[in-house]
A and B are shown apart, each in its own frame.
Chain A
Amino acid sequence: MSEVLAYKPVLEVRDLRVSFHVREGEVQAVRGVDFHVNPGEVLGIVGESGCGKSVTAQTLMRLIPSPPSRIKSGSVRFLGEEVLLKSEKEMQQLRGSKMGMIFQDPMTSLNPTMTVGRQITENLKKHLKMSSAAAQKRAVEMLKLVGIPGAETRIHQYPHEFSGGMRQRVMIAIALSCDPALLIADEPTTALDVTIQAQILEVLNDLRGRLNTSIILITHNLGIVAGICDRVVVMYGGQVAETGTVKEIFNHPKHPYTEGLLKSLPRLDTSKDEPLIPIHGAPPDLVNPPTGCAFTPRCPYAMKICQRLDPGLIDCGGTQAARCWLNHPKVQEAKA
């Protein structure tokens, strides 16, 4: 644990650029992304499909197939070491021990031919060099921790004997078994029903207090972010549109896209008479990303400069920063 706390931040991503090559040309999926994760915090990465959030996550774990993808530039420092320079062998050491991960579909990430218990113990024996007996004990503990009833008997069962929600719990147990410094959860509840989703979020919420693991939660659901995350990165068109604490982002969004997302969705507590204000148009084509700000063609506040120049992330006070010209002192001066 002290080893983890020695690094602040746990993970630091700088100017990450990832592209895919398809017949139409180069899809610039991630176009210069910066963010960091502090020890013990839950960072949410939100955005729509194609915004680059999953590609970013897969790049952090170096799970992105190459070709067709190519990491063009940038740096990912995890516990002080450069991830992008590691060999596949070193990455295998890292994944499942210091860096845990859970995915959207737990069925494809569990081995159907191995009992659930064995999948946890293998991991423990491989990474922590535990004895069989110790690993077995730890596996039962982990299953109990994620709320699987009858853990002692269930470790002898195979993945198909578990429901979707229970499988996701198993995935979490496996991911956390080696006490990782970072857990990357890529849409962990998207395939689940709401009542099961609530169970899984409860498990994650419960664990964050007890373990010293930082979590990156990738989702398209703003409600989940509001409920569980400390800080948020909002992604749009392969870039960070806005970042800040949950309170900053939800109470005072400084990017028109974030604002648009919050206004365009009906909430359970919105009345029927309140109109929804949709975001017009569609996300940008990342084969030919627009010059200037990527959100300009959909932005209700668009100005001439937005078409010409990308503002970069502008500090908005506190920990908040947004990629929008409206936050530039010069613009605020002119608009006042």
Chain B
Amino acid sequence: MSVPLIEVNHLHKDFHLGRGRTLKAVRDVGFSIRKGETLGLVGESGCGKSTVGRTLLRLYEPTAGEFLFEGQNVYSLSRAEMKAMRRDMQMIFQDPYASLNPRLTIGDSIGEALDVHQLVRSQKERKARIGELLELVRLRADYANRYPHEFSGGQRQRIGIARALAVNPKFIICDEPISALDVSIQAQVINLLKDLQRKMGLTYLFIAHDLSVVKYISDRVAVMYLGKLVELADSETLYRDPLHPYTRALLSSVPIPDPDVEAHKDKVIIKGDLPSAINPPSGCPFRTRCPLAQQICAEEMPPLAEHRPGHFAACHFAGADPA
């Protein structure tokens, strides 16, 4: 197996909310992604998946842990080194309406990357490069001097992708890139992301709450619950043979657009609500809703162990059927 492009070890991120309260958004998360691979990161709102993405890019500073990019620890880089490193990793954001500055033409939004890193020598070259990037995301080069409000959600999301590509990154964090888009537009963006990956050898961390999309686009999928990784496996395996009871519940909760499948589906509906991340349960975070929970689950946090080759799960009773 080749050396991973990125490796994250024991990542923690706390947010201090004042009055001594701490939100432990990410707790001891670790994974690696090979070059050209897509790792999906799924979980429900508040599970810390977006915080992981933002902490990797140092939009938030990590509380603890390391992030190796091609063997180099990103968190120990100086300001100048970090700026250079940013050419290698970029982000695509969720809300296409908030991710573009309404006062700038889309050409200037895309061109910002070129200006910040001085990637072009003349206005002519800048214009040509912006046009090239727009065509890469299947928009017209002459859209460059138009403003964001003239575009639809799907088009704006492509513009955001073009901006991320402007620095020729190796690694892109896709933070819920399609969840704000209309159903008929989602496939356009998914296909575009897949094409770009093939053409440019990109590596993705694909963050989303929609399991069907994540499963489709990812090679491997990591499931998060309340700041922790609970399961990590090849996407096909995770779908066919989930080991963690939370993953099972998540999979069975996704409605499938086929009445025959829906009619015969065994539904695992978990009770209760997501506990607060400020005061998470002791031991396993999922035990308060888990059909398999025993005494040990409250006492001991199960480690993320490799139950089968490449298939990790953090559960004392991984793979067990609920009685």
* Contact present between A and B (CB < 8 A): yes
A residues near B, CB below 8 A?
48-49, 163-166, 193-199, 201-202, 220-227, 246-247, 250-251, 257, 260-262, 264-272, 275-280, 282-283, 298
Contact, CB under 8 Å: B250 / A223:
no
Contact, CB under 8 Å: A49 / B209:
no
Nearest-neighbour CB distance to chain B for A15, whole angstroms, equals 26
Q: Which residue of A lies closest to B257 (CB)?
A: A222
B191 at the interface (CB under 8 A from A): yes
A268 is contacted by which of B249, B256, B270 (Cβ under 8 Å)? B256
Residues of B within 8 A of A272 (CB): 215-217, 235-236
Contact, CB under 8 Å: B255 / A165:
no
Nearest-neighbour CB distance to chain B for A260, whole angstroms, equals 7
Nearest-neighbour CB distance to chain A for B298, whole angstroms, equals 20
CA distance A48 to B186 in the complex (A): 11
Q: Which residue of B lies closest to A282 (CB)?
A: B152
Q: Mark B253-264, 1 if CB is under 8 A from A, else 0.
A: 111111111100
Q: Which residue of A lies closest to B152 (CB)?
A: A282
Contact, CB under 8 Å: B183 / A226:
no
CA distance A282 to B155 in the complex (A): 9
Q: Which residue of A lies closest to B192 (CB)?
A: A278
CA distance A180 to B270 in the complex (A): 29
Residues of A within 8 A of B186 (CB): 264-265
- Output the residue of A262, A269, A271, A278 with the most chain B CB within 10 A: A278
Contact, CB under 8 Å: A194 / B253:
yes
B273 at the interface (CB under 8 A from A): yes
Q: Using known A-B contacts A195-B249, A195-B250, A195-B270, determine if residue A226 contacts B45 with beta carbons closer than 8 Å.
A: no
Q: Which residue of A lies closest to B43 (CB)?
A: A193
CA distance A269 to B211 in the complex (A): 11
Contact, CB under 8 Å: B267 / A198:
yes
B318 at the interface (CB under 8 A from A): no
User: Which residues of B from 230 to 279 have beta carbons under 8 Å from A?
Assistant: 235-236, 239, 249-262, 267, 269-271, 273-274
CA distance A260 to B209 in the complex (A): 23
Interface size classification for chain B: 35 or more
Q: Using known A-B contacts A223-B257, A226-B256, determine if residue A261 contacts B209 with beta carbons closer than 8 Å.
A: no
Residues of B within 8 A of A196 (CB): 44, 273
B200 at the interface (CB under 8 A from A): no
Contact, CB under 8 Å: B184 / A261:
yes
Q: List 29 A-B contacts (CB under 8 A).
A: A163-B273, A193-B45, A193-B209, A193-B274, A194-B44, A195-B249, A195-B270, A198-B249, A198-B269, A201-B255, A202-B267, A202-B269, A221-B255, A224-B255, A227-B255, A250-B259, A264-B184, A265-B212, A266-B215, A267-B256, A268-B211, A268-B251, A270-B216, A272-B216, A276-B191, A278-B188, A278-B190, A279-B185, A298-B184
B296 at the interface (CB under 8 A from A): no
Residues of A within 8 A of B185 (CB): 278-279, 282
Nearest-neighbour CB distance to chain A for B205, whole angstroms, equals 17
CA distance A269 to B258 in the complex (A): 10
B residues near A, CB below 8 A?
44-45, 152, 154-155, 182-188, 190-191, 209, 211-213, 215-217, 235-236, 239, 249-262, 267, 269-271, 273-274
Q: Which residue of B lies closest to A247 (CB)?
A: B259
Nearest-neighbour CB distance to chain A for B182, whole angstroms, equals 4
Contact, CB under 8 Å: A226 / B253:
no
Besides the contacts A164-B273, A223-B256, A270-B216, what 8 more A-B pairs have beta carbons closer than 8 Å? A48-B184, A201-B255, A223-B255, A227-B256, A261-B184, A266-B215, A268-B251, A278-B188
3 tightest A-B CB contacts, nearest first: A223-B255, A266-B216, A278-B187
Nearest-neighbour CB distance to chain A for B233, whole angstroms, equals 14
Nearest-neighbour CB distance to chain A for B95, whole angstroms, equals 14
Contact, CB under 8 Å: A268 / B254:
yes
Q: Which residue of B lies closest to A50 (CB)?
A: B182
Contact, CB under 8 Å: B273 / A165:
yes
Contact, CB under 8 Å: A267 / B257:
yes
Contact, CB under 8 Å: A268 / B182:
no
- Output the residue of A194, A222, A247 with the most chain B CB within 10 A: A194
Nearest-neighbour CB distance to chain A for B199, whole angstroms, equals 16
CA distance A267 to B186 in the complex (A): 13
CA distance A227 to B187 in the complex (A): 22
Nearest-neighbour CB distance to chain B for A312, whole angstroms, equals 23
- Output the residue of A220, A223, A224, A268 with the most chain B CB within 10 A: A268
CA distance A194 to B213 in the complex (A): 14
CA distance A224 to B257 in the complex (A): 7
Q: Which residue of A lies closest to B219 (CB)?
A: A272
Q: Using known A-B contacts A196-B273, A198-B269, determine if residue A250 contacts B258 with beta carbons closer than 8 Å.
A: yes
Residues of A within 8 A of B213 (CB): 266
CA distance A198 to B262 in the complex (A): 12
CA distance A280 to B252 in the complex (A): 31
Nearest-neighbour CB distance to chain B for A298, whole angstroms, equals 8
Q: Which residue of A lies closest to B42 (CB)?
A: A194
B257 is contacted by which of A193, A265, A275, A278 (Cβ under 8 Å)? A265
Nearest-neighbour CB distance to chain B for A286, whole angstroms, equals 13
CA distance A122 to B152 in the complex (A): 44
Residues of B within 8 A of A226 (CB): 255-259, 261-262
Residues of B within 8 A of A277 (CB): 187
CA distance A196 to B46 in the complex (A): 13
Contact, CB under 8 Å: B236 / A269:
no
